[in-house]
Amino acid sequence: MKCIILAAGYATRLYPLTKNTAKPLLKVANKSILDHIIEKVEKVDIIDDVYIVTNEKFFQSFVNWANNYLGPLNVSVINDKTTTNDNRLGAIADIQYVLDEAELDEDVMVLAGDNLFDFELTSFVDFYKTLNADCITTHELNDTEEIKRTGVIEVDGGDRVTSFEEKPEHPKSNLAVPPFYIYQKETLPLIKNYIEEGNNPDAPGNFIPWLIQHKDVYVYKFEGMRFDIGTLDSYEKVQTLFK
């Protein structure tokens, strides 16, 4: 299994903090968000290679991070060649960019580079192994306004996803979907199909409602906290919590 970390955004909502620093490289409790994520990935023994996809603006910053990384993973930084928020590829197109550049033909875990979480990725992978199917993650979120800013799913009694909406005005459940996914290698060509059909290549969750029309997708329900660092307020909140 390979791991793709999405880090090609420009995080304009976090200016001025992210004007010259990539969001995943912001510090939380004396470590970058990326360091927190990588520590979770390191525990997954079947992941050997990590691909961090970023943009031209922050490419060298991530290269510098990778050059200083002393852990067990093979880390590659891939530049999607975009230069501004206006010409960004979008997360799904960035996944495809990595698949093409690295010629990946293995199962892939996809993680957003700006989310912190309590649960262990090892448990997510164990769940995936038992089902041998594409898997996403979910947790209960009972804040009405907050859940409108994320993906929301419905599931059947067997943990199969039956519906998915990105940032719904009227959420159908309290099951929020953070951007942590595992795709079978057989699913990877479908990402290209999705893009070629003219579908939205931006938020990574947009792929899920399309995918469940073609394949069964299952959901791993995790306990504990998940922090989506998207605004100055959310960053300040995480700083306080992690102290």
Look up the CATH number of the domain holding residue 81. 3.90.550.10
18 in a domain, yes or no? yes
Query: How high is the pLDDT of residue 193?
Result: 97
Query: How high is the pLDDT of residue 56?
Result: 97
Q: Are strands 2-6 and 108-112 parallel, antiparallel or unpaired?
A: parallel
> Alpha helices of the chain — where are they, by DSSP H?
33-42, 59-68, 91-102, 121-131, 144-147, 188-196, 207-211, 232-242
171 in a domain, yes or no? no
Please tell me the total count of domains within the chain. Answer: 1
243 in a domain, yes or no? no
Domain that holds residue 198: 2-135+179-221
Query: How high is the pLDDT of residue 74?
Result: 97
Q: Distance of CA 54 to CAs 22, 58, 90, 106, 208, Å? A: 9, 7, 11, 21, 22
57 in a domain, yes or no? yes
The one-digit pLDDT tens for each residue of the chain (243 residues) are: 999 999 999 998 889 989 999 999 999 988 999 999 999 999 999 999 999 999 999 999 999 999 999 999 999 999 999 999 899 999 999 999 999 999 999 999 999 999 999 899 999 999 999 999 999 999 999 888 888 888 899 999 999 999 999 889 999 999 999 999 999 999 999 999 999 999 999 889 899 999 999 999 999 999 888 888 888 988 888 888 887
Three-state SS at 183: strand
142 in a domain, yes or no? no
Query: How high is the pLDDT of residue 42?
Result: 98
215 in a domain, yes or no? yes
Enter the pTM of the model. Answer: 0.95
42 in a domain, yes or no? yes
Integer Cα distance of 71 and 214 in angstroms: 38
Query: How high is the pLDDT of residue 143?
Result: 86
The DSSP output letter for 208 is: H
230 in a domain, yes or no? no
Q: For the beta carbon of residue 103, count every other beta carbon within 10 angstroms.
A: 7
